[in-house]
Amino acid sequence: MATNSTSSTIAPGTAWLLRGRHLGPDAEQDVRRNLIALKSARVIDDFLDLDPVEAARSTDLFPRDESADPGPSARRVFEARWRVADDVTVRAQLTTYDPESRRAGRDGTSWVLAAEAERAWEEDWASPATMFWPDSDQVAWDHEEAPGVRLRTANHLPKDDGELRRLLRDCTQKSWAIHIVVHEAMTPDAPGRRPVTVFLPPSLRHRVVEHRATPDQALIADFAMKRELGVGLPRGGAVILPPAPRAPDHDAERFTVRDVFLDGTEPTELRSKILEFAALPRPLPADAERALTRLRQGWHLLTQEEELVHARAMVTTYATALHAMTESCNLYQEAAESALAALAEATGGEHQLRTPAPTAAKQDASPLKSLTKTFSAFRRPNR
């Protein structure tokens, strides 16, 4: 989870993907409490709390391949289902992991969240992060891969040039979020210190990370960003950082704002630029593509109607396989009888062979009995 190689797949418009770190003592318990509360309040329809090994296990009724396995460092898999816009179902899966590194600032519990709706995602829909994590400052679930960077606050850039450039690389190469840098033309008062991300629609609020450069950091931040990313930072303005690898047709000027007034009012132009940038087609990071595949291939939280559809599909699959086996046996028997007849004719009846009758043991191992045994596990009360 430390690297962020890019796949060739373009992120689908139906998906919402994010990852981060929880620095509290019990990440899984925070998720459980939030899911229980939201189910009681009927914000979500239902949820599951799964052991990763059980979640990836393949059965006759639910065959799964290695794409459903979250990996050896996975600690817990949570699934939740809710509805938006009255009738659009959202399915989401959050997986917690042991951290890959215990270096300073990189401890805690890593997590990956993949959500997908039945149609293209809309900006005003609720953030999937708040379905699993409590949207409270009391729970530190919103830390980025880069040390000291959080989702729900304005993060000041480091003073040291080396640390600043390292931060820029981490934010563009390892993060799934959109990163913006805002320069404070002068030290803002309390309303101006509010992060500009609070003015974003709910669906984007936890996918955008804000960085602040203090008034005296204008030159050093501009120089570091031009050297590392090829984009500049206007004095008193803002810029949206391009992802790595940078697209050949990326227009830095298109996503640069010359003036941002940090007085607590909505930064209309910057907000518009962020929405435009978020709507662009972007290649999925390889880890994000795997998370989306696990959501699709390893989904467990089915409704009764979905279970019935799945069971019918499996019946059709097994029936087709059984028919193919029967046809194969019939063809084999016909070929054997033809061969025996030809042999008898050639030898004048001196070599008449009999095909052995099936034994009781072979009859018991028939495909029909195996099929019956498979689907007996599906029978439950009221189904």
Residue 382 lies in a domain: no
> Does pLDDT of 204 surpass 70?
yes
The beta strands (E) that lie in the chain are given as: 6-10, 15-22, 46-50, 74-84, 88-97, 109-117, 154-156, 178-183, 208-213, 238-240, 256-257, 283-285
Q: Which residues contact 68 (CB under 8 A, 6 or more apart)?
A: 55, 56, 58, 294, 297, 298
- DSSP tag of 255: G
Is 111 strand, coil or helix?
strand
What is the token pair recorded at 160? Answer: 């040291």
Q: What is the pLDDT of residue 370?
A: 54
Residue 1 lies in a domain: no
The pTM of the full predicted model, rounded to 2 decimals, is 0.79
369 and 308 within one domain: yes
Residue 269 lies in a domain: yes
> Does pLDDT of 215 surpass 50?
yes
What is the average per-residue pLDDT within 249-278?
A: 94
312 and 224 within one domain: no
Residue 117 lies in a domain: yes
284 and 312 within one domain: no
Nearest to 193 by CA among 210, 209, 205: 210
- DSSP tag of 254: G
Indicate the burial class of 22 (C-beta count within 10 angstroms; 0-12, 13-18, 19 or more): buried
Confidence band (pLDDT; 50, 70, 90) for 383? very low
Residue type, 100: E
Q: What is the pLDDT of residue 324?
A: 79
Residue 381 lies in a domain: no
What is the average per-residue pLDDT within 274-301?
A: 93
349 and 229 within one domain: no
What is the average per-residue pLDDT within 113-142?
A: 95
Residue that the structure tokens 């890019």 belong to: 6
Q: What is the pLDDT of residue 2?
A: 47
Give the C-alpha distances (Å, rounded to integers) separating 311 from 61, 191, 371.
8, 57, 12
Of 320 and 140, the one with more pLDDT = 140
**H/E segment holding residue 161:** helix 161-173
Nearest to 278 by CA among 248, 311, 329, 241: 241
Strand partners, 97: 74, 110
Strand partners, 178: 208
- DSSP tag of 199: G
Q: What is the pLDDT of residue 374?
A: 52
273 and 354 within one domain: no
Confidence band (pLDDT; 50, 70, 90) for 360? very low
Report the number of distinct structural domains present in the chain: 2
Reported as a single tens digit per residue, the pLDDT across 150-201 is: 999 999 999 999 999 999 999 988 899 999 999 999 999 999 999 999 999 9
226 and 351 within one domain: no
183 and 73 within one domain: yes
Of 246 and 45, the one with more pLDDT = 45
What is the spatial distance between Cα 9 and Cα 125, in angstroms, rounded to a whole number?
24
Q: What is the pLDDT of residue 101?
A: 57
285 and 323 within one domain: no
What is the average per-residue pLDDT within 2-8?
A: 61
Domain span at 251: 6-297
Confidence band (pLDDT; 50, 70, 90) for 62? confident
Of 302 and 357, the one with more pLDDT = 302
DSSP H helices in 174-303: 190-193, 202-205, 218-229, 268-278, 286-297
236 and 186 within one domain: yes
Residue 172 lies in a domain: yes
187 and 319 within one domain: no
